[in-house]
Structure 1
């Protein structure tokens, strides 16, 4: 038998041994996670995803971002939705598939980099099988923590931005990022890491705290000061490109001045007072307190591995991610579930980093899995790692089992009519969100207006305009731009943020300016229809028409003589302009408003 033939089994055994913890994570859960992922791909869109679908579509149709469509979110979110729509993401199933593919790809990339983070010796560089096993383990463990959020809280801003953060900190933590900064591989790695790190700044500014941890890691990395300085310069050069890309999008498809005014003036003056919660309230909500403790323990444990030099200092951002995710949640002061995406992702990824690091440490300087595992201490440590890996996999299976999605529709029930039936969409109803009624209203509006007609809504569901294929008559697609009562009230919790008298004056001035601008725009170019959505959040009354009259009296008086309610879909009320309403069955010339 040839030497190659004799060595083949030992080579495979060594690779399987190096990948054992990864397989222990993946094997118990892969079936459950795949099933949850498939169910998630058929989920309908929630309110936030629908809003961003409209914003991206309107910009794609020629509206100027931040001027014609007023939005407090950064351009990266619109960019993601616009790219998805170009790839067929106007369809809900296709949108979900694209989200799951991109999210899963970020998990796979980070997982494939895990062996390099753990510090494999140059002569024991991980091969394809080892990297593939850890990529699979990462997809399983990280997809499970993602799927459990449900349809309302996935494909959200935080989850999109996590793509960039996760891959960025994984790249920075690899051995390649700490080599000679003059080498092409190190330059490319650090440049890509910097680019990916800075992109989220233009999605949500709170993500800058993750970049801060990366800068700290670059500054404290071992090696000559000059080498550290060069690495920092390359990282910042990538960051400059990362910031420039979304800013270029705003310059080309939006209004930079309007974006800056909303982001740096209106958000701190008004929007931060909408539904704020103090940290004590957020972290005491069901499930959040336990998650916070797990995040702190995970960060502390990884910190110990760094202090013991089992992990390199360049892994500081990985260790910090769970705790910094909590900081981001507290700074945003809302406590919405999707704000916790960086926390749960950081925890799960941190566990994988710990597993591969401790497992790799059992090899010592030997290249042989078998020869390095004969001592009782080594065997015990490896057994402990395998048990921990199995528990991580079991947790992933449990989370996937909990994923709150309805069953996958049967092949014969995947046509548009079946997917949008009232029976199926009822699974996605919420106390103030009714997907089937929204589609009924959208179909009604689309059938009675022309494609180039404008429609004004008073609601929190711009998705209706997207479904109807009609652009908004004014920039105001959010009710809170016209009804500032929530901002004026501030927090409902003791110790929460509330505006001062001076801040109340500024909030009212912003609201009054919006209401006046709305009235002026409507009078100069009357839209074909109005849509009022009862029970919308951030209104002071469950009756949207009454709320509009109280908040925008001038526009309401103008509306009452020129439009008439012609349809009501479970509280989604459509008012057509009088010339269009006259064509409706049952129209009477002396009806109010004629």
Structure 2
């Protein structure tokens, strides 16, 4: 709470200010990508546009939004970890909240931070489907991952990995026909938000310009862009206890043969988070957010079991 309170004076800075400006121009009638050149994806502008229309464009409005998004993300972490115990749920949420607020104003509202909520919800939906079955979990998990893809297309890699999990699990449980149907439901749900956003771009006259930016600028640029010469992890000292906590949790679950669907899905999220950071090749701190989110899920997963074992001694 103290960190959140002390963050209230943070200004709207860094990449967020640029995207706020683009959203402001869109609100005034400018066509994205045609009247405004930028390589960020349209879902990001829609988030900023929603903030401008509901909370306003000031620094405090963005702080309110950032803290609300942080609370929602921490809440999903807690829900994901709740089957392992309330201590695990609370600790995981607290780790992520602290990680974000300790990063400073330049981390507020970054796209990779926004993406975490979509990734975690998608992972939660697939984990629930693995535990309970039912098509609804696949529908809403696919839908939120699709929304995440409109913010940062890298999320498609995680969506594809989860689709593979759905296919394999359904095939083992019910056969290939059921696997094909379940996977199709998940993939179709994930396609909804991107198609809706592309439809919006077409309706406002920006689709052709968006395609030109992606194929004529973004992809060629990053195809030949050099990678960082020396890899570094900002706030590396913070990652030591986080990494140790994750390793201890996974080892403890494996030792007591307690690895379940949520462990597996969260571990897949960890792998995606690492790929998300490495593939982008820039070494920027906010690219670590997906890794931090899934690490927060797992960091205290075995803490309730450890405390229970200690009480029995």
Deviations 1:137-161 (A, max 9, x none): 4442221111111101221010111
**1:330-341 → structure 2 map (5 Å cutoff):** 330-341=278-289
Q: Structure 1: any 5+ residue segments left out of the alignment?
A: 1-33, 119-129, 181-185, 363-377, 385-594
Matched, 1:380 2:309: yes
Q: 1:36 to 1:243 in 2, by over 3 A?
A: same
**2:147: which partner in 1?**
199
Looking at structure 2, the residues matched to 254 and 164 of structure 1 have their Cα atoms a distance apart, in angstroms, of 27
**1:326: which partner in 2?**
274
Q: 1:223 to 1:81 in 2, by over 3 A?
A: same
Matched, 1:243 2:198: no
Which is richer in strand?
Answer: 1
| 8 A contact 2:246–2:298 mirrored in 1 | yes
Looking at structure 2, the residues matched to 162 and 383 of structure 1 have their Cα atoms a distance apart, in angstroms, of 37
Matched, 1:84 2:51: yes
Looking at structure 1, the residues matched to 188 and 163 of structure 2 have their Cα atoms a distance apart, in angstroms, of 13
Q: Paired residues, what number?
A: 310
Q: 1:155 aligns with which of 109, 112, 115?
A: 109
Looking at structure 2, the residues matched to 290 and 256 of structure 1 have their Cα atoms a distance apart, in angstroms, of 42
Alpha-carbon shift at residue 75 of structure 1 (Å): 0.7
Deviations 1:381-405 (A, max 9, x none): 5679xxxxxxxxxxxxxxxxxxxxx
Q: 1:170 aligns with which of 124, 129, 132?
A: 124
**1:104: which partner in 2?**
71
Larger RCO, structures 1/2 (Cα 8 Å, 6+ apart): 2
Alpha-carbon shift at residue 269 of structure 1 (Å): 1.6
| 8 A contact 1:109–1:135 mirrored in 2 | no
**1:104-503 → structure 2 map (5 Å cutoff):** 104-116=71-83, 118=84, 136-174=90-128, 176-180=129-133, 186-221=134-169, 223-225=173-175, 226-271=177-222, 273=224, 276-278=227-229, 281-282=230-231, 284-285=232-233, 287-288=235-236, 291=239, 295=243, 298=246, 302=250, 305=253, 310-313=258-261, 315-355=263-303, 359=305, 379-380=308-309
Alpha-carbon shift at residue 268 of structure 1 (Å): 2.4
What SS does the aligned partner of 1:252 have? helix
Alpha-carbon shift at residue 164 of structure 1 (Å): 0.5
Looking at structure 1, the residues matched to 181 and 96 of structure 2 have their Cα atoms a distance apart, in angstroms, of 33
| 8 A contact 1:59–1:65 mirrored in 2 | yes
Deviations 1:532-590 (A, max 9, x none): xxxxxxxxxxxxxxxxxxxxxxxxxxxxxxxxxxxxxxxxxxxxxxxxxxxxxxxxxxx
| 8 A contact 1:45–1:92 mirrored in 2 | yes
Looking at structure 1, the residues matched to 189 and 72 of structure 2 have their Cα atoms a distance apart, in angstroms, of 21
Looking at structure 1, the residues matched to 233 and 79 of structure 2 have their Cα atoms a distance apart, in angstroms, of 35
Deviations 1:158-192 (A, max 9, x none): 01111101111122212x55434xxxxx2221111
Deviations 1:198-231 (A, max 9, x none): 2222222222222133123213325222444333
Q: 1:93 to 1:237 in 2, by over 3 A?
A: same
| 8 A contact 2:24–2:49 mirrored in 1 | yes
In our comparison, the structure showing a higher alpha carbon Rg is 1
Q: 1:60 aligns with which of 27, 31, 35?
A: 27
Deviations 1:292-337 (A, max 9, x none): 9965983796388479752334643311223321211121111111
Alpha-carbon shift at residue 113 of structure 1 (Å): 3.8
Q: 1:345 to 1:241 in 2, by over 3 A?
A: same
> Superposition RMSD on alpha carbons, in Å?
3.1
Range with bigger deviation, 133-142 or 289-298: 289-298
Looking at structure 2, the residues matched to 114 and 178 of structure 1 have their Cα atoms a distance apart, in angstroms, of 14
Deviations 1:54-87 (A, max 9, x none): 0111111101001111111111110110011111
**1:481-560 → structure 2 map (5 Å cutoff):** none
Range with bigger deviation, 146-155 or 345-354: 345-354
**1:441: which partner in 2?**
none
What SS does the aligned partner of 1:277 have? coil
Looking at structure 1, the residues matched to 268 and 143 of structure 2 have their Cα atoms a distance apart, in angstroms, of 19
Which is richer in helix?
Answer: 2
Alpha-carbon shift at residue 252 of structure 1 (Å): 3.0
Q: 1:320 to 1:89 in 2, by over 3 A?
A: farther
| 8 A contact 1:49–1:155 mirrored in 2 | yes
